[in-house]
Structure 1
Amino acid sequence: MDNLRKGFPVLKRYTYLNTAASGLLPEKVFEFRQNHDLDFLISASILKERQGGILTDVRETVGRFFNCEAHRVALVPNFSYGFNTLLEGFEKPKKALLLKGDYPSINWPVKSRNFEIFYAAINENLEDNIRKALTENKPDFFAFSIVQYINGVKLNINFISELKQEFPETLFIADGTQYLGTEAFDFDSTGIDVVISSTYKWLNAGYGNGFILFNEKVEGKIEPKHLGFGSLQGKYKAHEGNFLGKFEPGHQDTLNYGSLAVALRLLEETGINKIEAQVVKLKNFAWQKFAEMGLLEKYVLERKEHSSLFNIKGDDTLFHHLRNKDIITSQRGEGIRVSFHYFNTTDEIEELTEAVKEKM
C-alpha cells in the first residue's frame, strides 16, 4: 500500500478525500513540468521545434491507454472546450437526451443551443429511465456523465454498450471526467461514439489538458467549425479540413499535454488493474460504513452500481469540522462529497467516519 502512496507529498499533510474536485499532482509530473519550463527558458523556439513530436507522443499515449487509434484522439484543454466544439458541429435543430441534474458543463451548453431536449431522471431506476426516453423520443444524441459529479451514481459500461446496440442511430457522447482513471477502459470495445474528458481529477495530470476519443463512424455526422494554423500541424492533421484538426485550431501547450503523457505512463507503471482493485476495495468498504451510519440517499442504496465517489449527509458544521481535522472534502448538493482513489486507505475512511460520528 505504501508504494501506491509514493510520489504524492500532500498525503503526508492531509487526509485527502477530494479527488472528485481536484486530483493530486504526482512528483513525476511536477518534475516533468520543471524540466520542460527550464528547457523553454534556455532554448526558447528550439524546444518548440520539437512540438510536433511531443504532441504526437501524447496523442499516441492516450490512444494506447484507452485503446483508441491515435488518429481518433483529439487533444483539447478541457471537457467544456471539446464538448462545445462538438455541439457546434451539429446541424440544427437536433433532438437531445440529457440526464436531469447532470453536470452543468454538459446540460448548460446543450440548453443554450437550439436543440429539442428530453430528460431522463437520475434515481434507482436510472437505466430503465434512459431506455424509455430513448425509445419514446428517438434523440439524435445522448450526452451524459458516466459517473455523476454530486453523488457518484455510475452507469455500467456494459449497459452503455448494450444500449448503444439497441439505439445505433443515436450518438452517445460520454463525459469521462469523473470516471477515467478508476478502472480499465477499452474505448473501442464499448461502442460509445465520443468520450470527452478533463484529466485533472482521477488521471492526476494537472489542469489545462484533456482529450476526446472518437468512434470511426463519427466523422461525417458532425462538422466542427473551428479552424486555425494548428489544425494542420502534426502527424495526424496533414490536410485542410481534417476532422481531428478542427478540434485543435491553435498552438497546443506542450507543458500541459506533456504532463498528461507523464501521468498516463505513471498509471501504466502502477497498473490499471491494480488501481481498479484498490478503488473497488475502498468503494465497498466505504459503502458498508456509510450505509450502516445512514449517510447515503435511499435511492443510492438501492442501486447495484456505484463509483468511489459518495455524497454523505452533512452540513456546514460537519464540513468545517472535517477541515479542522485536515480531512479534505467538498460541499456538493445538499451534503458533503467524499471520493477515494487508489492512493487512499481504509484507515482514512475509518478516520472520516469517526470524525463524522463526533458531530452526529
Structure 2
Amino acid sequence: MKNFKKQYPTLNQYTYLNTAASGLLSEAVFEYRQEQDLDFLISGSVFKDQQGKILTGVREAVGRFFNCAPNRVALTPNFSYGFNTLMEGVEKSKKVLLFKNDYPSVNWAVESREFEVCYADIDENLENNVAEVVEKERPDIFAFSLVQWINGIIIDLEFLKELKSKYPEMLLFGDGTQYCGTEEFDFEASGLDVLGASTYKWMNAGYGNAFFLFKDHMEDKILPRSLGFNSLQGKYKPHEGSLIGKFEPGHQDTLNFGSLKVAIEEVEKIGIDKIAEQVQSLASEAKSLFEEHDLLEEAVLKRKIHSSIFNIKGGDAVFQKLKNNQIVCSQRGEGIRVSFHYFNTSEDIKKLLKVIK
C-alpha cells in the first residue's frame, strides 16, 4: 500500500503498533474538526440548526458501511454508554453468557446488574467452549467481544451464524471495538442481533463517538428507559419510543460524530478490501515471526484464525526498551500488546523484533 505518513503525521516520529489502544488522527479528520469549530465560533446557533442534517449523514454513512438500515443505527458517545443502556433495557430474569476475562466494559455492565451469569473460557477451543456452555446452560443472551483485547483472539464469525441458526431465540450482543474497520462486515447477514463499537481505534475516528446496530426484531426485545428531547428528534426517529432514540436522549456532538463520517469516507477511498488484505498480511507475517522467536502463548499459536493484535512475551525492561526506540505499544496482561493496522508495514515488524533481540 502507499505511504501513509502524510495522512497520519504520528507515523513520522513513531513506529506505531498501538491501534488496539488508540487509533490515529488523520489529516482529513483533523481538518474537518477545525472547520466545525470555526463554523460554531462564527455562527453560534445558526450552526446548531444544521445538527439534524449532520447526524443524519453520519447515521447513513454507518449504515452504508456496515449494511444496516439507518433507522436502526444509534449514535452514542462511547461503547460503554451504549452497552449499559442496552443491558438496562433487558429483563433482569435473563441468563447471560460471557467470556471469562473479556473486556471490562462488556463484563462489568452485565455483572453489575441482577442477571444470572455463566462463562466460557478464552483459549484455542473458544468456539467449542461456547457451544458446550450454551448447550448446558441455555443462556438467553451471549454478550462478547469479537476480538479479545489482551491477546487478539478473534471469534469465528461463521460459528456465530451457525450458533444463531441452532439457537434462534438466544440474542447475540457483539462488541466490535477491536474489530470494526479491519475488514468488511455485513451486519444484516451476520449472526449478531446487536453490534456496538467505539470508533477511536480501528476506525481512526477520534474520541467521543460510537455506534450501535440493531436487527429489526430488537424493537420488541429490549426496553431501555433513557429518554430526552433528542430521543424524538431527527429523520430516523419518527415516533415516541423509537429504539435508537432511547440511546440518544440528549444533544449529540456533531464535532465527534461528524469525525466518524469523515473517517468512514477515508476508509471507502482506500477500499475496505485493500485494508483487510494489508491487515491480514501483516497479521500472518507477524504471527509466523513471533512463533519463530517463541513470543506467543500456546492458545494463539493453535488458532487457525487470528486478528492483527498480539500479546508477546516481555516485561518492564523490554517495554522500556521499545519506548526508548520510539516503538509505541502497550503493556497488557502478562506481556506486551502490539497491533498492526493498514498503515503499518513489514518494516515495522522487523524493527520490533530487532529491538527485542
Bigger CA drift: 86-95 or 337-346? 86-95
Note if contact 1:96-1:118 (Cα within 8 Å) is conserved in structure 2: yes
How far is 1:122 from its partner?
0.6
Structure 1 distance, partners of 2:239, 2:108, is: 33
* Aligned 1:238-253 pairs, distance under 5 A: 238-253=238-253
Structure 1 distance, partners of 2:44, 2:114, is: 45
Structure 2 distance, partners of 1:67, 1:152, is: 25
Structure 2 distance, partners of 1:20, 1:185, is: 18
Secondary structure, in 3 states, of the residue corresponding to 1:2? coil
* Aligned 1:169-318 pairs, distance under 5 A: 169-318=169-318
User: 1:106 aligns to what?
Assistant: 106
User: 1:40 aligns to what?
Assistant: 40
User: 2:343 aligns to what?
Assistant: 343
Structure 1 distance, partners of 2:299, 2:238, is: 50
How far is 1:292 from its partner?
0.2
Structure 2 distance, partners of 1:4, 1:144, is: 33
Structure 1 distance, partners of 2:88, 2:306, is: 32
Structure 1 distance, partners of 2:2, 2:182, is: 18
How far is 1:163 from its partner?
1.2
Structure 1 distance, partners of 2:310, 2:303, is: 13
* Aligned 1:47-86 pairs, distance under 5 A: 47-86=47-86
Secondary structure, in 3 states, of the residue corresponding to 2:19? coil
How far is 1:94 from its partner?
1.1
Note if contact 1:226-1:249 (Cα within 8 Å) is conserved in structure 2: yes
**AA of the residue aligned to 2:110:** V
**AA of the residue aligned to 2:351:** E
Bigger CA drift: 238-247 or 208-217? 238-247
**AA of the residue aligned to 2:269:** E
How far is 1:2 from its partner?
2.9
Structure 2: runs of 5 or more not aligned: none
User: 1:320 aligns to what?
Assistant: 320
Secondary structure, in 3 states, of the residue corresponding to 1:68? coil
Identity %, equivalent residues: 61
Count of aligned residue pairs for this structure pair: 357
How far is 1:4 from its partner?
4.2
**AA of the residue aligned to 2:248:** E
How far is 1:349 from its partner?
0.3
Structure 1 distance, partners of 2:244, 2:181, is: 24
Structure 2 distance, partners of 1:188, 1:54, is: 24
How far is 1:176 from its partner?
0.1
Structure 2 distance, partners of 1:4, 1:135, is: 47
Structure 2 distance, partners of 1:158, 1:47, is: 45
How far is 1:191 from its partner?
2.7
User: 1:139 aligns to what?
Assistant: 139
Secondary structure, in 3 states, of the residue corresponding to 1:118? strand
Secondary structure, in 3 states, of the residue corresponding to 2:331? strand
Note if contact 2:5-2:12 (Cα within 8 Å) is conserved in structure 1: no
How far is 1:3 from its partner?
4.1
**AA of the residue aligned to 2:179:** Y
Secondary structure, in 3 states, of the residue corresponding to 2:219? coil
Note if contact 2:127-2:156 (Cα within 8 Å) is conserved in structure 1: no
Note if contact 1:191-1:215 (Cα within 8 Å) is conserved in structure 2: no
Secondary structure, in 3 states, of the residue corresponding to 1:179? coil
TM-score (norm. length: structure 2): 0.99
Note if contact 1:4-1:270 (Cα within 8 Å) is conserved in structure 2: no
Secondary structure, in 3 states, of the residue corresponding to 1:195? strand
Structure 1 distance, partners of 2:2, 2:266, is: 16
Note if contact 1:4-1:342 (Cα within 8 Å) is conserved in structure 2: no
Summarize deviations over 1:223-252 as a string: whole Å, max 9, x none: 000000010110011221111101100000
Structure 1 distance, partners of 2:25, 2:209, is: 13
Bigger CA drift: 155-164 or 55-64? 155-164
User: 2:158 aligns to what?
Assistant: 158
Structure 1 distance, partners of 2:191, 2:217, is: 10
Structure 1: runs of 5 or more not aligned: none
Structure 1 distance, partners of 2:297, 2:339, is: 16
**AA of the residue aligned to 2:21:** A
User: 2:121 aligns to what?
Assistant: 121
How far is 1:320 from its partner?
0.5
Secondary structure, in 3 states, of the residue corresponding to 2:153? coil
Secondary structure, in 3 states, of the residue corresponding to 1:189? coil
Structure 2 distance, partners of 1:312, 1:113, is: 34
TM-score (norm. length: structure 1): 0.98
How far is 1:134 from its partner?
0.8
Structure 2 distance, partners of 1:168, 1:227, is: 30
Secondary structure, in 3 states, of the residue corresponding to 2:239? coil
Note if contact 1:142-1:170 (Cα within 8 Å) is conserved in structure 2: yes
Summarize deviations over 1:182-218 as a string: whole Å, max 9, x none: 0010110103100000000000000000000001111
**AA of the residue aligned to 1:181:** G
Structure 1 distance, partners of 2:298, 2:156, is: 20
Structure 1 distance, partners of 2:147, 2:240, is: 36
**AA of the residue aligned to 1:62:** V
Note if contact 1:282-1:308 (Cα within 8 Å) is conserved in structure 2: yes
